[in-house]
Amino acid sequence: MTDSDSRLLRVGVFYDGNFFFHVSNYYRYTHARKKRISIPGLHEFIRHHVAEAEGVDVRYCHIVDAHFFRGRFSARVADARQKLYVERVFDDILMGEGVVTHYLPMRQNAEKGIDVWLALEAFELAVYKRFNVLVIIAGDSDFIPLARKVNSLGTRVMVLGWDFKFTDDLGQERQTVTSIHLLDEVTYPVMMHQIIDDKTRRGDPLVKNLFVEPKEEPATEVRLVPSPEPILLTSTQAEPRQTPVAESIEPSISGAQLAEGKSEEYCGEILSLLDGFGFIKCTAFPKNVFFHWSSLINKEFTDLQVQQSVKFSAKHTDRGPVAVSVEIVE
């Protein structure tokens, strides 16, 4: 064994949490796999891929630092949405893998400063911990300056990116693309969608373990749909008990009178949540309005709760109007 084969490779991994959840939701709700991305499986894949790229035995390639960055709602808001348990479960997964979490408070349902914080932290740790390879799980061109600065240290940069395009249930095309300019700046650009969908690697355990098996996922959160009868509450009345009803509601898009291509803003509340899509109750429409998980603004589908107030635009499709640019109203 040569010295180059036995040298220890120090790898730092940095997650853009919003990008990671967007990708994970795609594989859970839209891709044929119907499974979420596994943090342990992703780390094992990174170790093997870095070892192969650097020409060393995987035993000498170790993730010495991993950091996860994302905007987060306050405990009060999360508790009101019954999301504290779900957040704790994911925190436990990160903690079990030694991933350090970095959260900034969400302001007006938007992340502010997360990309800057990730870049500063990644560069500082690359300096002090002397990573051989820095791995970024992100797709935004905003990370180009980070890649250039880390390159100047002699640290190789690897980007795990995804490109995917799909058509939602109402025929609208959705697309996610990793910045080609970011890929041009790094030593090791890795397009994960190509590896995952490569038929020659369908039996590869590294690819298979990139996904959480159903038995490993936390129990699915029970969502209750309120009784269809309108209920008015005063400040002195208790919240009515929610009555579970069948969620086989048909998309109510035939009754709206929207001009082709026209977009208007409406207000309503979430009536029901299904597997990757839901329905909004809005007085401007005679029936419930369909929305897809990919139409959410700075919000993950798993963060939603029945009876949340929303504002949205409505666009006409060949099957009628559909809610787009859906935003939670605090």
Number of structural domains the chain divides into:
2
Q: Which two tokens stand for residue 7?
A: 């040298």
**Within this chain, do residues 107 and 138 fall inside the same structural domain, yes or no?**
yes
**Within this chain, do residues 178 and 58 fall inside the same structural domain, yes or no?**
yes
Mean pLDDT, the chain, integer: 80
Domain range for 293: 223-330
Domain boundary among 192, 216, 240: 216
Q: How far is C-alpha 183 from the chain's CA centre?
A: 20
* DSSP-assigned letter for residue 2: -
The pLDDT value recorded for residue 133 is: 98
9 or 278: whose pLDDT is higher? 9
Q: Which two tokens stand for residue 325?
A: 């640019």
**Within this chain, do residues 268 and 183 fall inside the same structural domain, yes or no?**
no
Helix spans in the chain (H): 3-6, 17-29, 39-54, 75-80, 84-96, 114-129, 144-152, 180-185, 192-197, 205-208
Lowest-confidence pick of 92-96, 102-106, 148-152: 102-106
Domain boundary among 188, 216, 244: 216
**Within this chain, do residues 40 and 63 fall inside the same structural domain, yes or no?**
yes
Residue with tokens 């208007």: 264
Tell me how far CA of residue 318 lies from CA of 249, 258, 260, 276, in angstroms.
19, 11, 9, 21
**Within this chain, do residues 54 and 181 fall inside the same structural domain, yes or no?**
yes
Domain boundary among 216, 241, 265: 216
**Within this chain, do residues 267 and 131 fall inside the same structural domain, yes or no?**
no
End-to-end CA distance of the chain: 61
The pLDDT value recorded for residue 224 is: 37
**Within this chain, do residues 118 and 186 fall inside the same structural domain, yes or no?**
yes
**Within this chain, do residues 138 and 233 fall inside the same structural domain, yes or no?**
no
Q: Note the residue count of the chain.
A: 330
Q: What is the CATH number of the domain that holds 249?
A: 2.40.50.140
Reported as a single tens digit per residue, the pLDDT across 49-75 is: 999 999 999 999 999 999 999 987 777
User: Do 104 and 141 form a contact (C-beta atoms < 8 A)?
Assistant: no
**Within this chain, do residues 188 and 252 fall inside the same structural domain, yes or no?**
no
**Within this chain, do residues 245 and 180 fall inside the same structural domain, yes or no?**
no
For β-strands 99-105 and 61-72, DSSP reports them as parallel
Instruction: Map 99-114 to HEC letters.
Output: EEEEEEECECCECCCH
Q: What is the CATH number of the domain that holds 177?
A: 3.40.50.1010
| CB burial of residue 328 (10 Å; 0-12, 13-18, 19+) | buried
CA angle 230, 269, 229 (to 5 degrees): 15
* DSSP-assigned letter for residue 39: H
Give residue 7's pLDDT band: very low, low, confident or very high (50, 70, 90).
confident
Q: Give yes or no for residue 98 having a pLDDT over 90.
A: yes
Give residue 250's pLDDT band: very low, low, confident or very high (50, 70, 90).
very low
Q: How far is the C-alpha of 10 from the C-alpha of 132, rounded, in Å? A: 5
**Within this chain, do residues 195 and 321 fall inside the same structural domain, yes or no?**
no
User: Do 63 and 12 form a contact (C-beta atoms < 8 A)?
Assistant: yes
Tell me how far CA of residue 212 lies from CA of 82, 91, 147, 192, 209, in angstroms.
23, 16, 30, 16, 7
**Within this chain, do residues 62 and 191 fall inside the same structural domain, yes or no?**
yes
Q: Give yes or no for residue 261 having a pLDDT over 60.
A: no
Q: Give yes or no for residue 239 having a pLDDT over 60.
A: no
Helical axes 144-152 vs 114-129, angle rounded to 10°: 10
pTM above the 0.85 mark? no
Q: Give yes or no for residue 108 having a pLDDT over 70.
A: no
